[in-house]
């Protein structure tokens, strides 16, 4: 047993030394996770990234009430005190629509001519919000914030009106008490939002575990298949095979070297997520590393299968792409699986990456413990055992041909 472990380490050490001597591969090894994290972190929008979004406003009613609404929009700012909107003034609804067509603005708000008249007559006035359908993600965030501002402003006006009537009818004695009573009439039920953890989460806390698992999976599968197929092409695999090292030690040694590389890239992603995007780990850091290692184990079998079936490095790359590309979308790396069609959700649960990502999110975001991710651990371990049981005989058959 000691001799086998020694042989495994010798093969792993050889692969790692060869890898470290190739400067280009070493540079891309470090740059790839950095590129993915930075690119993903700054491309995907969230409500906290709503800064200086250009919107058009056509104020067809010059009443003081509409002026207060526009001021509320101008004063709206996000966490870092940056204004949410960069407001551009237009003279008509058609001009606002034309501004969206030219992509000068990312949405519009129209104050109709009868706005103040309807409010004065105790009627229900209407504000028109125009969406930028060419950019659905930013449009959804912009529209949501505009609706929130209008609804809050509307509630304030309603509270003042009902409070005035209550005070006039002498239901309550003072203006302050009248407004409190009016607010209870207009909004009799309130909500209180509680999370499992303290503080606010951001979108990147959802994405980071997915990128970590994906980077590890890609590193292990691509590296393992590429390493074996490259040595077959160069003829160096024959030299290893005639050495006094068992076939099992050869493949496990290569798997070990790729696992170390995959784990290193996972650590790079984790450090970048914490330093650049403020991602917090609410669970056990040791459990995160355990999941990364188990995720590596579940993908090793697939990497060996590709190694055994591909005679050339180009073929191995094509087979890997066929596996990895669907996994990228099916496993919920960037978007929740719950948003997928039912049939795609069922398919996603056949992908091991899905369980690695779900478990990492539970630990990192929700502070889950070992018992909370027991199902994912069992599935990942079982998948690794099954694929290894299938892959090892195929690999032995391949190298003896």
Residue-level pLDDT at 57: 93
2-10 contacts: CB < 8 A, separation 24 or more? 4/246, 4/248, 4/249, 7/245, 7/246, 7/249, 7/250, 7/253, 8/249, 8/252, 8/253, 8/256, 9/253, 9/256, 10/245, 10/253
Domain ranges of the chain: 2-44+202-399, 48-186
Whether residue 157 contacts residue 65, with contact meaning beta carbons closer than 8 Å, is answered with yes
- Residue whose C-alpha is closest to residue 391's, from 257, 301, 296, 299: 301
Residue-level pLDDT at 193: 64
Whether residue 115 contacts residue 63, with contact meaning beta carbons closer than 8 Å, is answered with yes
Say how far apart CA 333 and CA 167 lie, in whole Å: 56
Q: How far is CA 57 from CA 61, 63, 70, in A?
A: 11, 15, 8
Architecture of domain 48-186: 3-Layer(aba) Sandwich (3.40)
- Residues of the chain scoring pLDDT < 50: 47-48
pLDDT in tens, 144-201: 889 988 998 888 888 887 777 777 666 666 656 766 777 777 777 777 766 666 666 6
Say how far apart CA 231 and CA 303 lie, in whole Å: 15
With b meaning 16 or more CB within 10 Å and e meaning fewer, what string describes 120-142?
eeeeebebeebbbeebeebbebb
pLDDT in tens, 237-256: 666 666 677 767 777 787 78
- Indicate the DSSP class of residue 278: -
Residue-level pLDDT at 232: 67
- Pairing between strand 53-59 and 85-90? parallel
Residue-level pLDDT at 176: 62
Torsion (CA) 178, 183, 184, 189 in degrees, nearest 10: -170
Residue-level pLDDT at 240: 67
| Whole-prediction pTM | 0.72
Residue-level pLDDT at 380: 92
Phi first, then psi: give them for residue 86, nearest 5 degrees.
-105, 100
Phi first, then psi: give them for residue 76, nearest 5 degrees.
-65, 130
Residues in the chain: 401
- Residue whose C-alpha is closest to residue 288's, from 375, 367, 388: 367
Name every residue whose Cβ is closer than 8 Å to that of residue 326 and which is 6 or more positions away in sequence: 351
Token duo for residue 98: 């034309």
Which residue in this structure is represented by tokens 């030219």?
102
Say how far apart CA 13 and CA 21 lie, in whole Å: 12
Residue-level pLDDT at 234: 65
Residue-level pLDDT at 65: 86
Whether residue 221 contacts residue 323, with contact meaning beta carbons closer than 8 Å, is answered with yes
Residue-level pLDDT at 109: 92
Region class of 40: left (phi > 0), else alpha (psi between -120 and 50), else beta: alpha
Residue-level pLDDT at 108: 92
Torsion (CA) 130, 135, 138, 144 in degrees, nearest 10: 30
Whether residue 256 contacts residue 13, with contact meaning beta carbons closer than 8 Å, is answered with no
Rg (CA), the chain: 29
């Amino acid at each position: 047993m000691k001799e086998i472990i020694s042989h495994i380490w010798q093969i792993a050490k050889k692969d790692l030394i060869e890898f470290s001597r190739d400067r280009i591969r070493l540079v891309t090894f470090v740059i790839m996770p950095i590129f993915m994290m930075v690119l993903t972190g700054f491309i995907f929008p969230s409500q906290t990234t709503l800064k200086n979004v250009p919107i058009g406003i056509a104020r067809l009613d010059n009443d003081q009430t509409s002026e207060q609404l526009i001021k509320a929009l101008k004063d709206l700012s996000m966490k870092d005190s940056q204004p949410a909107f960069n407001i551009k003034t237009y003279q008509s609804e058609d001009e606002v629509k034309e501004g969206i067509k030219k992509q000068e603005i990312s949405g519009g708000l129209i104050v109709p001519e009868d706005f103040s008249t309807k409010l004065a007559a105790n009627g229900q006035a209407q504000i028109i919000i125009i969406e930028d359908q060419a950019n659905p993600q930013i449009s959804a965030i912009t529209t949501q914030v505009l609706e929130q501002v209008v609804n809050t402003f509307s509630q304030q006006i309603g509270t003042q009106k009902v409070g005035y009537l209550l005070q006039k009818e002498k239901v309550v004695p003072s203006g302050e008490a009248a407004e409190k009573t009016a607010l209870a009439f207009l909004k009799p039920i309130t909500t209180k939002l509680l999370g499992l953890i303290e503080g606010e989460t951001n979108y990147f806390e959802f994405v980071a575990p997915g990128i970590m698992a994906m980077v590890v999976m890609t590193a292990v599968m691509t590296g393992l298949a590429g390493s074996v197929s490259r040595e077959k092409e160069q003829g160096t695999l024959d030299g290893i095979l005639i050495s006094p090292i068992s076939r099992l030690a050869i493949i496990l040694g290569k798997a070990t070297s790729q696992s170390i590389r995959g784990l290193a890239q996972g650590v790079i992603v984790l450090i970048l997520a914490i330093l650049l995007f403020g991602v917090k780990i609410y669970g056990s850091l040791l459990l995160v590393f355990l999941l990364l290692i188990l995720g590596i184990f579940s993908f090793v079998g697939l990497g060996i299968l590709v190694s055994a079936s591909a005679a050339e490095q180009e073929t191995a790359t094509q087979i890997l792409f066929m596996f990895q590309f669907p996994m990228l979308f099916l496993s919920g790396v960037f978007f929740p699986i719950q948003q997928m069609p039912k049939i795609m959700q069922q398919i996603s649960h056949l992908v091991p990456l899905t369980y690695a990502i779900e478990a990492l999110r539970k630990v990192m975001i929700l502070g889950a413990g070992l018992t909370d991710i027991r199902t994912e651990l069992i599935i990942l371990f079982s998948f690794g055992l099954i694929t290894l049981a299938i892959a090892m005989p195929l690999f032995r058959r391949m190298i003896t041909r």
